[in-house]
Structure 1
Amino acid sequence: MDKVVASASEAVADVPDGASLTVGGFGLSGVPEALIQALYDAGVTGLDVFSNNCGALESGLAVLLTAGRIARVTGSYIGGNKEFARQYLGGEIELELIPQGTLAERLRAGGCGIPAFYTPAGVGTLVADGGLPWRYGADGGVVVASPPKEVREFDGDEYVLERGITTDFALVRAAKGDRHGNLVFNKSARNFNPLAAMAGRVTIAEVEELVEPGGIEPDQVHLPGIFVQRVVALTAEQAVDKKIENLTVSTREDREVRS
């Protein structure tokens, strides 16, 4: 039952080239930085990644993206990642762009053993009708486009069929975890992490604080250990090393106006 692995590099040692990978995080919040860096150090390439976005500020998945280690991304946000946009528009990477809620539900469905589900999100758009550019050619033309999806009517409304997602591995980050793999996430850092963990056949969690079994009250567990196969305890330095994407500070005049 003890799922603790000595290091991030040991935890990802069996991730092969071409593996499918679900990664938790949203922007810079709740990103498994240590595990991603370990994959980079191992030289793994050709990855098929499922994640909300693909890193930011040259951190997170951007480390693998910039190095050309990612072949395909299924996600819902490109954002301000100029390198991601450049690779996509230049035909260097394939991108399946889907609604954010659909991504979350596809991960949850995969983790629950549900092969597919119907949703109204995307009906009447290219998401359902097909034709979204998945891959561009060097000349800017569309080489691979999304296929049309099944649409059915229920009680007078149309719904599109979406497939559940399961991947070879999942990488997540939690605020606290025990040796059995039970995890607790901190506020917004929870984001896609529980869903990503559920979708992985082998889920690896880096935790900021490792406690013994019983150190987490059952009602406090956000993700039960049955979904987690490996746990890596971060060092104190790694646990507090958290970047800020957009820092906004108020002036004295702003505070006086609000008061």
Structure 2
Amino acid sequence: MKNLKIKEKINKKIPDHIAIIMDGNGRWAEKQGKIRAFGHKAGFEKVKEIIKFSVHNNIKVLTLYTFSSENWKRPKSEVLSLLELFSFALKNEIKNLNKYNICLKIIGDVTYFNSELQRCINYAEKITLNNSGLILNIAANYGGKWDIVEGVKKIVSAVQDGYLNIHQIEEKIFSQYLCTNSLLPVDLVIRTGGEKRISNFLLWQIAYSELYFTDVLWPDFDQFILQDAINDFSIRKRRFGGIIKD
């Protein structure tokens, strides 16, 4: 019954691409007297719920900020638990990804990860490459500034090698050198956990995205709150710098 209720409430105008900053796992665990790793595990279960919701409601692209390039500054034990959880998810969720026709993409600098985790990433991407349903982007060791700098390096190299003329460089061309080069623009960015900042997430890609902030900590986030965010998005007027005439 819950799923039916959700589908009835969602406005026809839904975002094609939703990006979520999943904040609050550690604080959620600490409030319960648990270690922060407990919160990350609870957050992983919530990820699975939100992915299923996205599939059932025809969201085309879902991008999840799971591990930022700044997260290495956290305690070593927490970083290790996050990476172990990431590896576990890659190994154990491939069947479900294929079951729901999901194409998995990992965006970020994966060269920082150990060889085993890199193999898991490559295998998961390869085995889901031809799936034609939801595109699921997992931002791991990702930073918006890093993405832009890497894009600049690629463009400079293309110009030096004669593949690109400097006068051809414009926004559309530059976008093709970023991690999200083949994806639809980000329509809606959601951040949980009460903070109201972007935290180096998709800086180029969300220039005209709609933003939605909630105080709910990520492990408590659910499909009903996501529904509220989508409904809120559906009534906004997106001008993209122009004027909309009524």
- Indicate whether the TM-score tops 0.5: no
TM score, norm. by length of structure 2? 0.37
Greater helix proportion: 2
